[in-house]
Structure 1
Amino acid sequence: MTDLSNGFFADGPVALPSGGPLYLQLKRWIEDAIHRGDINPGDALPSERDLAAKVDVSRVTVRKAVLQLVQDGVLVQRHGSGTFVAPPTQRVEQSLSQLTSFTEDMARRGMEVHAQWLERGLYLPSPEETIILGLSSGDQVARISRLRLTGETPLAIERASLSARVLPDPTAIGNSLYRHLDKTGNRPIRAIQRIRAANLDEENAHLLQVPVGSAGLNIERTSYLASGRVIEFTRSIYRGDTYDFVAELRIGDSPSNGGNKP
């Protein structure tokens, strides 16, 4: 990590790009420095006070510029440590046409992932879980919640619900839920996913290490066995700056290509 107080930010007078509010000029100046390689990933910015004095602007202007850059993912703020240039983000493409576990999907890309457990246990089901999972009176629901990471970077939060009859001991899950279900003959063969854009609330933004209000993807997946029985209901939240969901589309059969024959 470079000491920028004795490097780039210690150089001569600053000439901000012209045009627009002052905080946007400062924002562009910092972005340009990063793009040129004058400031590198992992480098710490000077304090708000020092940067304001260097550029000859108010601390409010610096704060607004830095906040914009944090929201854009260009900078990261670490409590008690300061503000740093964010490392390059590796985007992940996930197919919408294959039903795979998170672990399997990342392994195919050569990415090593691990989980931080947030919750594992048996509970009384919510009305939503009772209906979706087809639970009876007196049934319990197994809930497992995990923060998925690659290295130190969190990618997604997964919160899965299954019947306790299927998963009587949630603590038996290793790194992959689907691998465990495969061993017990309960691995799903198809699923319906609903994806919607969302702005991350304080709890989820904190877990994913992004600013509150950052873009995210909320995904609800209902998975089925070959018999048609629902086996899993999962609600996941993905960081919007790390994931691209990809689907292959094909034109449907038509009379012109032999489909819908009389």
Structure 2
Amino acid sequence: MEVKHERVKQCLEAMMDSGQLSVGERLPSEILMAKEFGVSRETFRAAVKMLEQEGRLLVKHGVGTFVIQPLPMIPSSLERLSSIGAMIRTAQLDQGESRIKFTKEGCSPEAASALGIKLGDPVVNMERVHTANGEPVAFSMNTIPQEIAGDAFDHDEFQGKLLQFFEKRLGRKIVTADSEICVPLHIDRHCQRLLLHPQTTVLMLKQVHYDEANRPVLFSRDYLRNDVFTFNIRRTT
């Protein structure tokens, strides 16, 4: 069922996209707009708040609400949780098959700290090599607590996107992640998998993934060729 303020937001977006509300134009008063959409002032205010957060409206208290030019999209923005496959497609490369290996072992100190479990607790480690245009471009080491993984990886059931597998097979929807950008040493054996050309450098993302209840469910180390992937972030005051 559609929420009223989301419907109002969509209508305002359509008016801006069509030019009915142009950049620089001030919206009519809150009372008039709420009446026009047949909603309460609180509902209309909620829609405006969403568009303000998205950078499409500027609210100047005591002055009015103005349509502003939205900022351009940032490719490969770190603000958005994306799979490596999606990043490969964003780089306009042909995504290839990935080689997958599973092992069960005791949790390492780093993963235990990230996942909030005890050192040596059983975990499933999944290694994946991602290719693009026939070359390895990324290597991932994913660590999942055995308590969460169960036997889901015992019978070669995994295929496709890991985030979707978590939601559909493990019943945990991953909604956010804390990411740290690192530069691995060139002697790191996982880094060496990707050093195919003299100009190749490698970045690593260490990421703790959380479910809807803010519980850590996945720790990943993603090695990415910097001659293929670039990352951007928009900073504000």
1:70 maps to: none
Partner of 1:224: 210
How many pairs are equivalent?
Answer: 159
Give the 3-state SS of the residue equivalent to 2:98 in structure 1. Answer: strand
Structure 1, unaligned stretches of length 5 or more?
1-92, 252-262
Structure 1 runs of 4+ with >6 Å offset: none
Aligned to 2:140: 158
| Alignment check: 8 A CA contact 1:201 1:213 kept | no
**Can you list the C-alpha shifts for 1:139-168, whole angstroms capped at 9, x where unaligned?**
410110111111212111111101112223
Task: Report the equivalent of 1:123.
Answer: 105
One-letter amino acid of the counterpart of residue 161, structure 2: S
Instruction: List alignment gaps of at least 5 residues for structure 2.
Output: 1-74
Does the 8 Å CA contact 1:191/1:223 hold for their aligned counterparts? yes
Q: Tell which structure's C-alpha radius of gyration is larger.
A: 1
Kindly indicate whether the alpha-carbon contact (under 8 Å) linking 1:103 and 1:175 is maintained by their aligned counterparts in 2: no
- Tell whether 2:220 aligns with 1:234: yes
151, 159, 162: which one aligns with 1:174: 159
Separation in 1, partners of 2:96, 2:197: 23
What is the RMSD computed on CA atoms of the aligned residues? 2.7
- Corresponding residue for residue 117 of structure 2: 135
- Of all paired residues, the percent bearing the same amino acid is 18
State whether residues 197 and 217 of structure 1, in contact with CA within 8 Å, keep that contact through their aligned partners in structure 2.
yes
Task: Please give the alpha-carbon distance, in whole angstroms, between the structure 1 residues aligned to 2:88 and 2:129.
Answer: 14
Q: 1:244 to 1:104 in 2, by over 3 A?
A: closer
Residues 202 and 224 (structure 1), Cα distance of their counterparts in 2 relative to 1, 3 Å cut: closer
Shift in alpha-carbon separation, 1:125–1:199, aligned structure 2, 3 A: closer
Q: TM-score, structure 1 length as denominator?
A: 0.53
Which residue of structure 1 aligns with residue 81 of structure 2? 99
Query: Contact 1:197–1:218 at 8 Å: present in 2 too?
Result: yes
For residue 211 of structure 1, report the CA deviation from its aligned partner. 5.0
**SS of residue paired to 2:110:** helix
